[in-house]
Amino acid sequence: MFRIDEELIKAFLPYIKEYCLQEITKEKWKALIDDLFNLEDRLKDGDDRYFDALDHSFVLFLMIYCGAIEVIEESINPNYSINLRNLMALNSSSWSETQTIGKVVLTEILESKGFKNIKYEKSHYSIGRSDVSAKHPISKIRVIGECGPCRLTKVINTLRFDNKELWHLTKSNILYIYKRDQKWDEMYNLLEKTNRRIMNKAFDQIKDSDFMKL
């Protein structure tokens, strides 16, 4: 039922070997797959509607573990002091109570780190809608914030743009910050080339199929 495109395996095999210290044993492969599904579960955050193709999980996993994406994990105090002004400002919306509190908590985390121009439910080109977004006036970093379930594709789609980070606040009060790491350019260029090969192969199959002869 689940399949990873062979072109992705071929392209990333040297990096898989590097991650497994050159020797891919059955135990190391099982541990790698377990880590992959843990990453997927963390982003879905209990909502299976946010399932993506296994290819997306595989690529995101390798981008993280091969040094292209850095993940910073911060535990948030469950008794976080919520600013009533922010809560009242957002509570009149149609969001659920869990989503509203998540947005308030993420807002206050952003404000405590100096971020300004905070907006909600904003659409971003090639990324989609964010629960919360903000910009830092000095570093110029723009944050795409998600509260609860988050699509796997949103991580790489966000980091494609310079000075953008994805902040994911889970329902278990853990904040994951995804940002570019040292090997971003190398790995992202590899991913783009591989995707082009996959698309070209698909077009060739369509071109040679009986469908085109109708």
Query: Could you tell me if 162 and 87 lie in one domain?
Result: yes
Residue 44 sits in which domain range? 1-68
Where does 5-152 have alpha helices with state H?
Answer: 6-19, 26-44, 54-65, 84-90, 97-112
Q: What percent of the chain has pLDDT over 90?
A: 27
The model's pLDDT over 188-207, given as tens digits with 9 standing for 90+, comes to: 888 888 777 766 665 565 55
- Report whether pLDDT(1) > 50: no
Query: Could you tell me if 133 and 32 lie in one domain?
Result: no
Last residue of a domain, one of 23, 47, 68: 68
Determine the pLDDT at residue 168: 95
Task: Give DSSP secondary structure letters for 60-78.
Answer: HHHHHHTTSEEEEEEEPPT
In this prediction the pTM is 0.79
133 or 126: which leads in pLDDT = 133
Per the DSSP assignment, residues forming a β-bridge with 129 are 123
Last residue of a domain, one of 68, 87, 111: 68
For the domain that residue 164 is a member of, what is the CATH number? 3.40.1350
Contact 82, 108 (CB under 8 A): yes
Angle between helices 6-19 and 54-65 (to 10 degrees): 30
The pLDDT of 78-101, averaged and rounded, is 59
